[in-house]
């Protein structure tokens, strides 16, 4: 049974649903309901794992497959006779949920943090890390490289080198906008490592530039985020940029 809450005169009314009612809804509506109740944003590049229950990724896959089948029908593709497209809706749904947009539906990979016992305080460079994403405007692939510079202090937590790549992959495996992706990655690293300075440079090819529109095959997009000491100290920033692999500087 649904009822309208009117506890606060200013807040928009919320419809409360019982667990039974929720269970009858498609998984996407159930998850959306929890997000709205919690007043949480669910943009394309937001992670919503905290609002999902076991088995719901599989339910979403089934829903997405059915909708993609409708897209193929709307494109007037005969998926019954055309053996190439018979399983396409299923394949693409699996690819979205399990692979290319997985970073929306699973929690951040476990990362062990070590105290900075050696009190390292020299510039560290990690990368280039190869990243794949998709633009949220066209859902076209984005392929790129990320270089990370860290200036730790004695209170920083250090994380293993491979973990930078795991966290980057988790942030990028969502429909993204490059400018927002680098900021999200910087926020995650800032929170975990707590360095004095953090710099991130991402250079990427956007296939919506190559495949459609102007069909430009040369343009790559470069974005950077500089935090703390990297903002204040021009020499440090220059040192970081000069140590990035050649391709990321040109």
Q: Which residues pair with 200 in a beta bridge?
A: 148, 225
By CB under 5 A, the residues from 175 to 214 that bind Zn ion are: 208
State the nearest-atom distance from the C-beta of 21 to Zn ion, in Å.
38
Q: Which of 24, 40, 67, 137 binds Zn ion (CB under 5 A)?
A: 137
User: Which is nearer to Zn ion, 94 or 138 (by Cβ)?
Assistant: 138
For Zn ion (CB under 5 A), the number of binding residues is 4
90-109 mask for Zn ion (x: CB under 5 A)?
Answer: --------------------
State the nearest-atom distance from the C-beta of 68 to Zn ion, in Å.
19
State the nearest-atom distance from the C-beta of 207 to Zn ion, in Å.
8
Q: 165-171: long-range contacts at Cβ-Cβ below 8 A with a sequence spacing of 24 or more?
A: 165/129, 166/109, 166/111, 167/108, 167/109, 167/111, 167/192, 168/129, 168/131, 169/103, 169/131, 170/47, 170/103, 170/106, 170/108, 170/109, 171/45, 171/103
**Is there a contact between 31 and 97 (Cβ–Cβ < 8 Å)?**
no
User: Which is nearer to Zn ion, 137 or 238 (by Cβ)?
Assistant: 137
Considering the rule CB under 5 A, would residue 138 count as an interface residue with Zn ion? yes
- Evaluate the CA torsion angle 52, 55, 58, 62 in order and state its sign: negative
Sequence-distant (6+) residues with CB within 8 A of 2 are 15, 16, 17, 21
Tell me the C-alpha distance between 220 and 143, whole Å: 10
User: Which is nearer to Zn ion, 61 or 206 (by Cβ)?
Assistant: 206
User: Which is nearer to Zn ion, 114 or 211 (by Cβ)?
Assistant: 211
State the nearest-atom distance from the C-beta of 176 to Zn ion, in Å.
10
User: Which is nearer to Zn ion, 44 or 92 (by Cβ)?
Assistant: 44
User: Which is nearer to Zn ion, 168 or 209 (by Cβ)?
Assistant: 209
Backbone φ and ψ for 93, nearest 5 degrees, come out as -60, -45
State the nearest-atom distance from the C-beta of 180 to Zn ion, in Å.
13
Residue showing the smallest CB distance to Zn ion in the complex: 208
By CB under 5 A, the residues from 38 to 57 that bind Zn ion are: none
> Tokens standing for 76?
């007037």
State the nearest-atom distance from the C-beta of 100 to Zn ion, in Å.
14
State the nearest-atom distance from the C-beta of 181 to Zn ion, in Å.
13
Tell me the C-alpha distance between 151 and 124, whole Å: 6
**Is there a contact between 185 and 131 (Cβ–Cβ < 8 Å)?**
no
Q: Which of 31, 64, 131, 135 binds Zn ion (CB under 5 A)?
A: 135
Q: Which residues pair with 224 in a beta bridge?
A: 201
User: Which is nearer to Zn ion, 111 or 132 (by Cβ)?
Assistant: 132
The number of angstroms, rounded, from the C-alpha of 116 to the middle of its chain's C-alpha atoms is 28
The number of angstroms, rounded, from the C-alpha of 48 to the middle of its chain's C-alpha atoms is 11
Binding site for Zn ion (CB under 5 A): 135, 137-138, 208
């Amino acid at each position: 049974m649904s009822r309208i809450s009117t506890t606060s005169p200013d807040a928009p009314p919320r419809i409360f649903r019982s667990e039974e009612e929720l269970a009858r809804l498609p998984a996407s509506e159930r998850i959306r309901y929890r997000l709205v109740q919690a007043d949480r944003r669910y943009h394309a590049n937001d992670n919503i794992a905290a609002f999902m229950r076991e088995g719901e990724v599989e339910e979403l896959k089934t829903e997405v497959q059915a909708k993609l089948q409708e897209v193929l029908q709307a494109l007037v593709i005969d998926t019954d006779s055309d053996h190439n497209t018979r399983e396409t809706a299923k394949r693409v749904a699996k690819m979205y949920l399990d692979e290319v947009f997985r970073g929306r539906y699973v929690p951040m990979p476990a990362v062990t943090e070590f105290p900075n016992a050696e009190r390292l305080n020299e510039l560290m460079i990690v990368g280039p890390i190869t990243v794949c994403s998709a633009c949220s405007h066209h859902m076209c692939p984005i392929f790129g490289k990320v270089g990370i510079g860290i200036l730790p202090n004695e209170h920083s937590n250090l994380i293993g080198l491979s973990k930078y790549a795991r966290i980057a992959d988790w942030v990028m495996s969502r429909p993204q906008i490059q400018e927002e992706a680098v900021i999200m990655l910087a926020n995650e690293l800032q929170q975990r490592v707590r360095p004095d300075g953090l710099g991130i440079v991402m250079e990427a090819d956007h296939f919506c530039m190559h495949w459609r529109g102007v069909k430009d095959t040369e343009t790559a997009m470069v974005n950077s985020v500089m935090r703390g000491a990297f903002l204040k100290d021009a020499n440090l920033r220059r040192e970081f940029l000069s140590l990035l692999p050649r391709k990321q500087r040109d």
